[in-house]
Structure 1
Amino acid sequence: MALRGFREDAIVGITTVFGNVDLPQANHNVDFLLQALDRADIPVASGANRPIISKVSDERWPGHGPDGLGGVSGTVDVAHAAATVNDAVTMLIEKAREHRGELIVIALGSLTNVALAMLMDPSLVSSLKLLVVMGATSRGMGNLTPHAEFNIGCDPEAAEIVLQHCTADTLYIVPFETAISSSLKWTEFNEMFNGTDSNTKSLVRDMWQVAAKRASSFAPCDAYAVATLLDPALITSARTVHGQIHLSQDQWRGFSEWEDVASGIANQSTSSASLVSAVDREIFKRLLESLVAQ
């Protein structure tokens, strides 16, 4: 649906990464969605198939279905999937140079591709207009482990690299708790996506049928991050913070630690990010309704 919210020429590329599904499945899912939405013109680059250091986590939330899209795209036979190289890092670097000062990167999975691109091109961050991340926790309420949010927990080292390279002017993070606390009721979801059918409506409705049986509310975490760009008024509160990720091999691995600049604990020159602590759920709901109507 976000594809309909931006100008057609505004999206210059999509990269994939491992996460709730493996990389071949992620590549398949992106291709499926672009074909379904008649946007196969958008370039796609396959990315990292594993974390920088740690092993790939076996943890998956069943609510996403066997294919990561609620079962609508079908699963890929990994044994027969074509091997791919990491073209995502190259795409990120090239697009940042091509659109210097204008490129916005929206990261909705593990930060492996972004971190590798920053290491390969130290000027990458200064070339970006903004990096928006869905991930991390603001109050330690994890969903991969009791302390780690899934996207950060998938590759904690990558997240730490990104925090070391960014400032609050460049990096906006929408943490897990912010999305969950602004979730919609399933009755609201049904009002939006039932009734007069369209391809987009039926696709979204089908994608969320598995989740509806497992989750108490409709909380499309990734959508909140994207929505901050479609309507910045969605953000009602944000903290300027210095952040770091707990990297030790213990129960706290992947935990997001924040120090507030406003409190004097950290200073502006060492800020890592703007942490979005609250969003307006009514604005989010109206935005979804407007996109559904298109």
Structure 2
Amino acid sequence: MANSEMRRVIIDVDVGTDDAWALLLLLKCEKKYRFKVDAITCTHGNTDVTHGARNVLRMLTAIGRLDVPVYKGATEPIVTAVPFREKPFHGIDGFADLDLNDTVDESLIKPEHAVNELYRRIQSEAGAMSLVFIGPLTNLALCIKLYPEIRSKIRELYIMGGNRYGMGNVSKSAEFNFWSDPEAAHIVFNNVQCPITLLPWETCLSEQKTIPMEWRIKVLGNTSNRAVQLLNQAEGKIFAGRPFWRPCDAFLAAVFVDPDIVESSENFHVDIELTGQLTRGQTVLDHLKSNRENVKLMEKLKTEQFKMLMLYAADHEVEHKL
């Protein structure tokens, strides 16, 4: 392939340890899998946008990739206030509140707002830019409403969020990313015209049962990679006592890196419930097939292939197995 044919991607994050793994996977796999991470945009979600951007810089510093530009975006959902959570899963700072003493050079964060930068890059490279969104969809929704002409100019969109069977992880019926900004998810699914790949919460639940926490710590975590060593500290605290590892955002990043990792999927028309008293933020699938399908929904991944990708990203000697 010529360089001009390489995939180019912007990743939108709310870092979050599983976002951090997704970033590491994407940045480590660029050369082997022929794509380029053009930019990283940050949003509210697992933590506030400032902590999220700091965590991105920590990861980039650890692996020597400060060449990738970082932008701060939305600080809150489009309509409602930031939902209150008494005990955020990833801690207040997104990295398990480790009281890190490192110095993060926030001057490296670009001054442009993430929404405007998304527009500039999508517009200038019409049809060429892939998007991987692994937090609330606020930045993309705002970009669509400010600049509706981008709706037809995105190459492909990968999203971690929502649910297939109405199983929630933050409410009875809603997954965290869509629950955090249901209006944003609704705007995205009803406007973008490119192929959408969706990894829902239930798929993450089924995949986690194949990845013991012992493997995560003793095998994957046994490396000199500085980013992984940082994540060892954070996830050692977050997942303490849990039998399985659940890196939801890394699952989605792996699907982007190597689509062959998908064992099964199904196409649906997807929309988001906005007004239900018990179901706000729930993903609604058209099982009647009465509307045009707009999403490829991931059902099952090839676990061993995923684990090999993660080992590769963590600098283990496994390239010959990929």
- Cα offsets for 1:112-133 (capped at 9, x unmatched): 0001111222231321111100
SS in 1 for 2:280: coil
The code of the aligned residue for 2:116 comes to T
The code of the aligned residue for 1:171 comes to I
Q: Partner residue of 1:273?
A: 295
Percent identical among aligned pairs is: 28
Offset, 1:192 = 2.2
Offset, 1:71 = 3.4
- Cα offsets for 1:174-229 (capped at 9, x unmatched): 11111121111012112323445332331231231122215331010000010001
Which deviates the most, 66-75 or 106-115? 66-75
1:119 aligns with 2:141: no
Following the alignment from structure 2 to structure 1, what is the Cα–Cα distance between the partners of residues 86 and 123? 35
TM-score (norm 2): 0.80
- What is the root-mean-square deviation in Å for CA atoms of aligned residues? 2.4
Offset, 1:44 = 1.2
Task: Give 5+ residue unaligned stretches, structure 1.
Answer: 76-83
1:147-186 equivalences under 5 Å are 147-167=173-193, 170-183=195-208, 184-186=211-213
Q: Partner residue of 1:291?
A: 313
1:82-93 equivalences under 5 Å are 87-93=113-119
Match of 1:216 among 243, 262, 269: 243
SS in 1 for 2:308: helix
1:58 aligns with 2:58: no
Task: Give 5+ residue unaligned stretches, structure 2.
Answer: 1-23, 102-109, 317-322
1:62-77 equivalences under 5 Å are 62-72=88-98, 74=100
1:257 aligns with 2:284: yes
Which deviates the most, 95-104 or 196-205? 196-205
Conserved 8 A contact 2:178-2:281: yes
Following the alignment from structure 2 to structure 1, what is the Cα–Cα distance between the partners of residues 241 and 43? 25
Decide whether aligned partners of structure 1 residues 252 and 195 sit closer, same or farther in structure 2, where only a CA change above 3 A counts: closer
The code of the aligned residue for 2:294 comes to S
Which deviates the most, 173-182 or 57-66? 57-66
Conserved 8 A contact 2:220-2:310: no
Conserved 8 A contact 1:103-1:130: yes
TM-score (norm 1): 0.88
Conserved 8 A contact 2:225-2:315: no
Aligned length: 281
- Cα offsets for 1:148-175 (capped at 9, x unmatched): 10000000000000110135x5211111
The code of the aligned residue for 1:284 comes to F
Following the alignment from structure 1 to structure 2, what is the Cα–Cα distance between the partners of residues 194 and 28? 22
The code of the aligned residue for 1:243 comes to V
1:202 aligns with 2:263: no
